[in-house]
Chains A and B, each alone.
Chain A
Amino acid sequence: MDLTGWMLARAAPRPLLVPLPGGRGVRLAVERVIRERGWDQAAGPAGADLFVVCGSPGPALVAEVERVWSQLPSPRSRVDVGDADAVVGELDRARARLAEPEHHRADAARRSGEGHIAVAEGGRGAPHDMHGGHATHGSDDVSSCGGQDAHGGHDGHGSQDESRGGGHGMHGGADESQDGHEVGGGHDMHMMHGGVVAGLPMAERAPDRDGLTLDVLHVTLGPILTDWPAGLVVRVALQGDVVQSAQVEVLGGPGSPWDGPPAAAALDGLARLLAVCGASTAARTARRLRDDVLAGGVDDAELRRFTRRLRRSSTLRWATDGIGWLDDSHGDLAGDATDRWRRWLEVAEGAVPAGDPDRRARVAVDVLPGLLEGHELAAARVLVASLDPDLDALVAPREAAR
């Protein structure tokens, strides 16, 4: 069992960041620390062993956070950071716990006790038979698992929570069939309407863009999804991976508008867009430059070299050209995704941003459903990242007005 600890002590942990509304300061601090330590961010719960909650989940989000936490494979460690100053200490402690066998045994014991509850909470009204399916599934899975025997104690329960469609379960959390036909994860594609398999309702069918009748899958993007605006939930109906319709919802409590330098905000949004576009090295550089700007010591020559390189990048333009076109009445969101990130580059270089973040977020949330329709999932992610609504700015005045 010490082999596990020894291995884990040598490998860098893979944190899954959960940025929550109002948690921007914490997220920036965490991103800075993990970048300096060389801990790569996980793309989803399956790839993570460190769960970092940035900010405090309000009542709207607590169930989602618990659910995604329940989907991390063991050994795992969790840290809830409420204060940007506490980040280093909290991450150190979480890291240390990750290599402790006692911690894993306790975690496994807790898991076996709470498994069903976690799913039930997460499911928000999901059909109950769902959990039945899990239980059996979880335990027989384990018997065939090599990896976890090493820690004794991880009997099977780790798997129970992979709530259906962990895929969407995780990130989108909510496949909860509120109106009885929403389906979780991978189910789509496979069935005629009305069926129920393993306690999960099947997809429906509808005519599609090309004159065929394809399955319709309802997927929820957000609120916990990597490189995604904190607190945003987009419910989409997919055929294949083409968005047929979308509804936008904003979750979370009051936040505060960005009070740092606008250049850092622009680089922050840029880093998310670059990550979604798969330009991982450029995203890393953008985050580093953002942290330098926040610390007040950015190297201007390097910043300009970076922006020049992006402006010349034809593959980045390939990824963003023609996506989410808005006319001039939309202020500094006008143009396509390429125009928007080029404007960020100008702000990063010191230009004064036009328009205020509150109005930008409001416009973005208004236009999002219409723009998403007809896009493929990949383009939809680029679109959201290029609008990058700062929902904290939106939520703050709304709460104040109430």
Chain B
Amino acid sequence: MSPVQQGPLWTVLLVPVLLAVLALGGAAFARVLDARADGRRITGSVLAAPLAESGRLLVQQRRSVVASDRLLARTGVVLVPVAAVLAALVVPLGGVTASDLSVGIVWFNAMEVVMWAALWMAGWGTNSVWGLVGGYRFVVQGLSYELPHMFALITVATGAGSLSVAGAVAAQDGLWFVVWMPVAFVAFLVSALALSFAGPFDTATGRDVAGGVLAEYSGVDRLLLLGGRWLLLAAAAAMSVPLFLGGGAGPLLPGWLWTVVKTVAVLGLLVWIRSRVATVRMDRFAEFGWMVLIPLTLLQALLVALVVLARGAPSMGGM
């Protein structure tokens, strides 16, 4: 397999487009699952529903509440999709990446942590009980998933001996990381759902608090939040491929197609989990994250570190 290389500058512009297509696909699949539960037939309009819904939100009026902090609220809202696209910049498509950062893995982590600030600001800024509760819930969620998530990333970096995504892909030539770091992979998928406040980790926007962070947003603000959440989920699914699933490696098909196939599979799995599982409340998840996920991911990291030591460390500092 050819190593991952920096693509020409215009590939940066391709990232948001591809990510949006992926996100729309994920949202459409979620609608299909909904329609099946409702006992409706799967028609073209079900598949087009995310697009139609985006159009509806574009022409809808924006609103805000008395004494809301609009500067913080709008900054938070805009940061959600922006951070998702920035996080996706380092994901290679086959053998080409829009941005071959030497610290791509840390970059991805930093962009996804932007979500903490973004959702908190978006929740606080509306000056509504529900928004505030939602924003605080997301911070608790962040404190519960972030450490396992970081340990999962550190495990990959240790196994690869590099912080660059290209390095992680190169290190999986032969054996995918998912095979010998299954715990890290599962922790990554859990945190992928949590960081995009989707699925069982949607307490920040839960129906029980009338939509939480979303409670006071309509129109284009709502579109940015909802769309940004799908972009994030798509970005996290895409990132799992170079980190754990060998990037573009695979027989017969070209590398970029393998990347797409694997990404779609992971995204489909995440959306399916999202529809299948009840929301995990923060009073439950905080304890689970700290008492179960952190020790398990730490053990996984230790195991991988021992393996790396045993087979002779790959050149240190050669990132």
Instruction: Point out residues on A near B: beta carbons under 8 Å.
Output: 3-4, 7-8, 10-12, 14, 35-36, 38, 40, 43-44, 46-47, 49, 71, 73-75, 130, 133-134, 137, 141, 145-148, 150-151, 154, 158-159, 162-171, 184-189, 197-200, 217, 219, 225-227, 238, 240-241, 274-282, 284-285, 287-288, 313, 315-316, 318-319, 376-379, 381-382
Contact = CB atoms under 8 A, between A and B. Distances in A.
Q: Which 8 A-B pairs have the closest CB atoms?
A: A278-B279, A167-B128, A11-B56, A198-B67, A279-B278, A284-B37, A73-B218, A44-B210
- Which of A75, A166, A274 neighbours the largest number of chain B CB atoms within 10 Å of its CB? A166
Contacts of B116: none
Contact of A274 (B67, B210, B222, B278): B278
B315 interface: no
Given A137-B64, A146-B220, A43 B207 contact: yes
B210 A187 contact: no
16 contacts: A4-B59, A12-B49, A44-B210, A71-B63, A137-B66, A165-B127, A169-B128, A184-B129, A186-B65, A200-B66, A277-B278, A282-B37, A288-B38, A288-B39, A319-B280, A379-B283
Contacts of A238: 129
Nearest to A217: B129
Given A12-B52, A147-B220, 5 more contacts: A10-B52, A38-B49, A49-B56, A162-B65, A281-B37
B210 A43 contact: yes
A11 B55 CA distance: 7
Given A281-B33, A377-B208, A164 B66 contact: yes
Contacts of B35: 38
Please classify the interface of chain B as helix (H, G, I), strand (E, B), loop, or mixed, using the class held by over half of its residues. Answer: helix
B63 A226 contact: no
Interface in B185-220: 200, 202-203, 206-211, 214-220
Interface in B256-291: 275-284
Nearest to B284: A318
Given A319-B281, A378-B281, A148 B61 contact: yes
Contacts of B124: 186
A84 B254 CA distance: 58
A280 B34 CA distance: 8
Contacts of B58: 7, 147
Given A11-B53, A165-B129, A378-B281, A73 B216 contact: no
B46 A47 contact: no
A49 B55 CA distance: 13
A99 B38 CA distance: 25
Given A12-B53, A162-B63, A319-B278, A171 B34 contact: no
Contacts of B207: 43, 226-227, 275-276, 278, 280
Interface stretch (B10-18, B131-139, B232-240, B295-303): B131-139
A110 B62 CA distance: 18
A47 B275 CA distance: 20
A381 to B, nearest CB: 4
Nearest to A310: B278
B60 A44 contact: no
Nearest to B135: A186
Contacts of A382: 208
Which among B61, B130, B132, B220 has the highest number of chain A CB atoms within 10 Å?
Answer: B61
A217 B34 CA distance: 37
A74 B200 contact: no
B279 A158 contact: no
A225 B124 CA distance: 21
A3 B267 CA distance: 33
A185 B64 CA distance: 13
Contacts of A166: 63, 65, 126, 128, 215-216
Given A12-B52, A167-B129, A148 B37 contact: no
Contacts of B276: 281
Nearest to B288: A318
A320 to B, nearest CB: 9
Contacts of B211: 43-44, 46-47
Contacts of A185: 65, 127-130, 132
A318 B280 contact: yes
Nearest to A226: B207
Contacts of A134: 66
B40 interface: yes
Nearest to B201: A278
Contacts of A188: 129, 132
A279 B53 contact: no
B61 A167 contact: no
Interface string B4-48: 000000000000000000000000000001110111100001100
Contacts of B131: 167, 186
Nearest to B127: A186
B214 A43 contact: yes
Contacts of B216: 46, 162, 166-167
B112 to A, nearest CB: 22
B249 to A, nearest CB: 34
A19 B127 CA distance: 27
